[in-house]
Amino acid sequence: MTLRIAVPNKGSLSQAATDILRESGYRQRSDSKELALVDSENDVEFFYLRPRDIALYVGEGTLDVGITGRDLLLDSGAKADEVMDLGFGRSRFHFAGPAGRYSSLEDLRGLRIATSYVGVVEDYLFRHGIDASVTRLDGAVETSIQLGVADVIADVVETGTTLRAAGLATFGEVILDSAAVLITRGDVVHDDFEIFRRRIEGVLVARSYVMMDYDIEEADLPRATELAPGREGPTISPLGKAGWVAVRVMVPRAGSQRLMDELYSIGARAILLTDIHACRL
């Protein structure tokens, strides 16, 4: 059986999801009107669906794997499980109200809350023993306060620009930290899922690591290895200069410039950084 994968067809997650699949070596649609695509070389079929519906398809077992938002997965209540954080589509889910009016969770008692994520909000209120009424809106929830439909909202906040423009501010703790995630149905996993998972993981690691090469005097190698230990250990090769070695090591992309400074200061020279496009660890 072909591995069947659900991909967001529109919205914030769509482009980044298609990008990571393409980088992982899968065929992707070239026209946003295409609703499904068979990649016969990899024995995979992609279905382009609303991100909100994806957890349902996977939870029902109709599709084997999905890319959706953690918040949408939780909101759906579907029987699907998060198996990998994909590192994009990061957002926080918050209560918000007119700036300065509300300050704590306790203030929510008896209020009218508008949201597109009724499942997440009702679950949160229940767990905190708060009685409030929740109204479902499809989008542009920020405007519901001004229009008198709600007292507060609960919504996705990324940069905070939309809230500020509506004169609103968050209050209380973050309800949840969301990101795009890979989901499957925990109890029934397709035989080919592991191959797919490793490909995606390879791209994520390649994005967050870089390859560093440098030359160093053998005597200084222990200090350098302490600074950059690598995943398994650095590759050390002889160099055409007596007492020196060439070193190759994978390092986290974040902080790699500072690491170059540190290696230079202990005597490393010809330090090079290169991108990794994909890997299997």
Ligand X SMILES: O=P(O)(O)OC[C@H]1O[C@H](OP(=O)(O)OP(=O)(O)O)[C@H](O)[C@@H]1O
Ligand Y SMILES: Nc1ncnc2c1ncn2[C@@H]1O[C@H](COP(=O)(O)OP(=O)(O)OP(=O)(O)O)[C@@H](O)[C@H]1O
- Interface stretch with ligand Y, choices 8-16, 41-49, 120-128, 269-277 (CB under 6 A): 8-16
Does residue 159 belong to the site contacting ligand X (CB under 6 A)? yes
Residue nearest to Mg ion (CB): 139
Distance CA 6, CA 226 (A): 43
Residue nearest to ligand X (CB): 139
Q: Where are the alpha helices (DSSP H) in 228-269?
A: 256-265
Does residue 20 belong to the site contacting ligand Y (CB under 6 A)? no
- Interface stretch with Mg ion, choices 132-140, 222-230, 236-244, 255-263 (CB under 5 A): 132-140
Number of H helices, E strands in the chain: 9, 15
* Least Å from the CB of residue 51 to ligand X: 11
Distance CA 125, CA 129 (A): 6
When CB distances are held under 5 to 8 angstroms depending on the partner's kind, the choice from ligand X, Mg ion, ligand Y, none that residue 185 binds is: none
Does residue 75 belong to the site contacting ligand X (CB under 6 A)? no
SS3 state of residue 21: helix
Identity (one letter) of the amino acid at 61? G
List the strands of the sheet with 81-85, edge to edge.
36-39, 44-49, 3-8, 65-69, 180-184, 81-85
Query: Under a CB-based contact definition with an 8 Å cutoff, are residues 77 and 119 in contact?
Result: yes
Instruction: Please report, as residue ranges, which positions from 84 to 123 form the binding site for ligand Y (by CB under 6 A).
Output: 89, 91
When CB distances are held under 5 to 8 angstroms depending on the partner's kind, the choice from ligand Y, Mg ion, ligand X, none that residue 43 binds is: none
Size of the site for ligand X (CB under 6 A): 11
Sign of the Cα pseudo-torsion (167, 100, 144, 122, in order): positive
Per-residue binding letters, 129-148, with ligand X (x by CB under 6 A): ----------xx-x------
Does residue 158 belong to the site contacting ligand X (CB under 6 A)? yes
Distance CA 267, CA 251 (A): 18
Which residues sit opposite 177 in a β-bridge? Answer: 92
Size of the site for Mg ion (CB under 5 A): 1
* Chain contacts with ligand X (rule: CB under 6 A): 139-140, 142, 155-162
* Chain contacts with Mg ion (rule: CB under 5 A): 139
